[in-house]
Amino acid sequence: MNSEDQDANKIGRADFFKGALGCTALAWGSMTLYPIFCYLNPKAGDQEDETQVSSLEVCKVKDLPPGSGRNFRFGSTPAVIIHTKDGEIHAFKAICTHLGCTVQYQQQKDNIYCACHGGQYDAHDGKNIAGPPPKPLTALVVKIDKDKIIVSQS
Ligand code: FES
């Protein structure tokens, strides 16, 4: 093998590593950005029709102690259920009324928080109380059947 062949071989390896690095960066970027996109745009990627769900058991009362909350899916719609510190249980569609990000219960402040722009809602009635959200969250109906928490459309 002469030196020209060796130079050609080095350039080939360099191109291979550049290509591999580019593919790795593309794959990493896709794996990182797609979940963020789905989180910020809850309707993206969902095929299930929201109207197929009119009522659903979220959990047992004992699994949601006072001062806690959790997000769940109400069909294709993100929703949040909250057992407030004073013992009331409320559920809302977890779609921020500002730009549609998914909201969640904030235990320390006993309110509902949107991480996108700092919007806050009252955990008792879903009323917008701080930040840019222009209107309250959409409430869902909560019923307790023995020890089960059942949520349905209002
Ligand atoms: S999308 Fe929730 S505060 Fe902006």
- Separation between Cα atoms, residue 112 and residue 120, nearest integer Å: 6
Measured in angstroms, how far is the CA atom of residue 144 from the centroid of ligand 1? 31
User: 9: domain range?
Assistant: 1-40
* Confidence bin at 7 (pLDDT 50/70/90): low
Residue nearest atom 1 in ligand 1 by C-alpha distance: 99
The structure's pTM equals 0.69
95: CA distance to ligand 1 center in Å? 9
Give the pLDDT of residue 47: 46
Render pLDDT for 99-123 as a digit per residue (tens, 0 to 9): 999 999 999 999 999 999 999 999 9
Contact assessment for residue 64 and residue 149, using Cβ atoms and an 8 Å cutoff:
yes
**Is the domain of 78 the same as that of 104?**
yes
Q: Over the stretch 11-65, which tens digit does the pLDDT of each residue have?
A: 677 776 777 787 688 777 777 777 677 666 655 544 444 557 889 999 999 999 9
Residue with tokens 């979940």: 35
Ligand 1 close to Cβ of residue 119 (< 6 A): yes
74 and 124 assigned to the same domain? yes
Q: Which of the four pLDDT bands, split at 50, 70 and 90, describes residue 95?
A: very high
Residue with tokens 């959790």: 70
Whether residue 95 has its Cβ less than 6 Å from ligand 1 = no
**Do 86 and 120 lie in a common domain?**
yes
Is there a single domain that holds both residue 65 and residue 96?
yes
**24 and 71 inside one domain:** no
Ligand 1 atom with the shortest distance to the CA of 118: 3
Q: Which atom, in ligand 1's list, is nearest to the CA of 119?
A: 3
